[in-house]
């Protein structure tokens, strides 16, 4: 195992998250952050991205049993997280590919294990009876057609539900640019389910892209001055805890690129609106982590344009933000994904140097080559 490649002892700082999955769900259930291979039309297809999904919450699952990609849980990778100060306590079950993943969760189901999932799975992969949060509830709260059931009308962007066959006619009643979103009971993420249309040809391309959606959401493209993600968790009894917010970074096509996290407060009206959303979600059968995407406009108004009932990209960083500020005296943090062309060990050397300088903390990593040598569980 690589431990500080320069021979320096690991960090002595032990970081503590503000909340963990095991505090919400207990430690007897199995957590899986990966999507089902049979229900992932609207999620990234890159295998490394899917491996990363399985490990993105390792620092906040607590002591739950966790299903994780071998590439994201090598001994070096887990050592890196522990050296960074993260308490990695989960009992891990590893898989090397999608087929092994399905075999593994079916085996654990046969052993009587219950599951907590980030993403909806096909019932053939994960029976309803094995899910603590029922897939019907998870699908319902995450379906973009249902946004108005959770958000007050004055806090919604102008939006319509449009049959896909009629999408190209929408320009008669709405002006460009427009945002088109898939309506689906499957999980969505990474901007795969969203298209921004600035002209007629974009609308034609969107109609072809969303061909298998009977209907889509069409929203006004907002002039956003602040793009926020507020995080909450909802416990089994319906108690709601506000965890903080992060400024979201997106590219020109609306694809998520990370977050900025500062030691600042969010407007009370936005936080209260999120609590109301969380309460309605609990009434619909959901509990667990929740992210609420909010656009702050030039006139100070805000619009809630997306809800994600799962731990979000910013959730681990937010849960550690206060502890990191105290331990490292950092008031501003950037959360993002890094990729490289070198091998994993070269990357580790760079990461450890950055850790030594107190400018970098890794929340997860992937070694596509090293996964071959991993045991099934640890």
Provide the residue range defining the domain that includes 174.
158-220
DSSP state letter for 11 = P
Give the pLDDT confidence of 12-70 residue by residue, as tens digits.
678 999 999 999 999 999 999 999 888 888 988 788 788 888 999 999 999 999 999 99
| 129 occurs within a structural domain | no
| 51 occurs within a structural domain | no
- What span, in angstroms and rounded, lies between the C-alpha atoms of 223 and 213? 27
For residue 42, list its beta bridge partners: 188
Report cis status (omega within 30 of 0) of the bond before 177: yes
CATH of the domain at 163: 3.30.1490.20
| 213 occurs within a structural domain | yes
| 303 occurs within a structural domain | no
Out of 46-55, 130-139, 254-263, pick the least confident. Answer: 46-55
Summarize the confidence of residues 143-152 as an average pLDDT.
Answer: 98
- What span, in angstroms and rounded, lies between the C-alpha atoms of 90 and 59? 9
Question: Virtual CA dihedral for 288, 63, 34, 107, nearest 10 degrees?
Answer: -110
Pairing label, strands 178-182, 65-69 = unpaired
| 309 occurs within a structural domain | no
Q: What's the pLDDT score for residue 255?
A: 79
| 60 occurs within a structural domain | no
| 378 occurs within a structural domain | no
Q: Is pLDDT above 60 for 3?
A: no
Domains held by the chain: number: 1
CA atoms within a 13 Å half-sphere pointing along the CA-CB vector of 80: 27
| 166 occurs within a structural domain | yes
Summarize the confidence of residues 244-272 as an average pLDDT.
Answer: 91
Q: What's the pLDDT score for residue 8?
A: 47
Give the pLDDT confidence of 194-245 residue by residue, as tens digits.
999 999 999 999 999 999 999 999 999 999 999 999 999 999 999 999 999 9
DSSP 66-120: EEEEGGGS-HHHHHHHHHTT----PEEEEESSHHHHHHHHHHHHHTT--EEESS-
| Cα-Cα end-to-end distance for the chain | 15
Q: What's the pLDDT score for residue 370?
A: 60
Q: What's the pLDDT score for residue 376?
A: 59
- What span, in angstroms and rounded, lies between the C-alpha atoms of 194 and 360? 31
């Amino acid at each position: 195992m690589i431990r500080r490649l320069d021979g320096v002892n690991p960090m002595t700082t032990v970081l503590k998250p503000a909340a963990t999955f095991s505090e919400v769900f207990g430690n007897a259930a199995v957590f899986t952050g990966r999507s089902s291979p049979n229900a992932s039309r609207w999620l990234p297809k890159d295998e490394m991205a899917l491996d990363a999904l399985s490990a993105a919450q390792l620092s906040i699952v607590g002591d739950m049993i966790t299903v994780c990609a071998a590439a994201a849980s090598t001994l070096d990778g887990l050592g890196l997280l522990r050296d960074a100060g993260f308490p990695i306590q989960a009992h891990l079950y590893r898989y090397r590919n999608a087929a092994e993943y399905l075999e593994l969760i079916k085996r654990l189901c046969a052993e009587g294990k219950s599951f907590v999932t980030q993403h909806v799975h096909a019932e053939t992969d994960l029976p309803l009876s094995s899910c603590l949060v029922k897939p019907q509830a998870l699908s319902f709260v995450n379906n973009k057609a249902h946004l108005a059931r959770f958000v007050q009308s004055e806090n919604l962007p102008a939006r319509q539900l449009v049959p896909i066959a009629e999408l190209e006619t929408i320009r008669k009643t709405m002006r460009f640019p427009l945002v088109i979103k898939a309506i689906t009971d499957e999980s969505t993420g990474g901007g795969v389910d969203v298209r921004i249309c600035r002209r007629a040809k974009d609308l034609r391309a969107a109609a072809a892209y969303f061909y298998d959606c009977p209907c889509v959401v069409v929203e006004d493209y907002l002039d956003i001055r602040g793009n926020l993600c507020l995080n909450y968790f909802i416990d089994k009894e319906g108690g709601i805890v506000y965890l903080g917010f992060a400024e979201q970074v997106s590219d020109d096509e609306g694809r998520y690129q990370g977050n900025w996290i500062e030691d600042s407060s969010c407007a009370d009206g936005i936080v209260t609106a999120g609590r109301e959303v969380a309460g309605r979600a609990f009434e619909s059968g959901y509990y667990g982590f929740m992210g609420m995407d909010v656009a702050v406009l030039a006139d100070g108004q805000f619009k809630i344009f997306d809800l994600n009932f799962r731990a979000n990209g910013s959730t681990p960083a937010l849960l550690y933000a206060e502890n990191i500020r105290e331990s490292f005296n950092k008031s501003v943090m950037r959360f993002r994904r890094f990729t490289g062309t070198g091998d994993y060990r070269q990357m580790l050397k760079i990461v450890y140097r950055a850790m030594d300088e107190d400018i970098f903390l890794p929340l997860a990593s992937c070694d596509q080559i090293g996964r071959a040598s991993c045991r099934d569980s640890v």
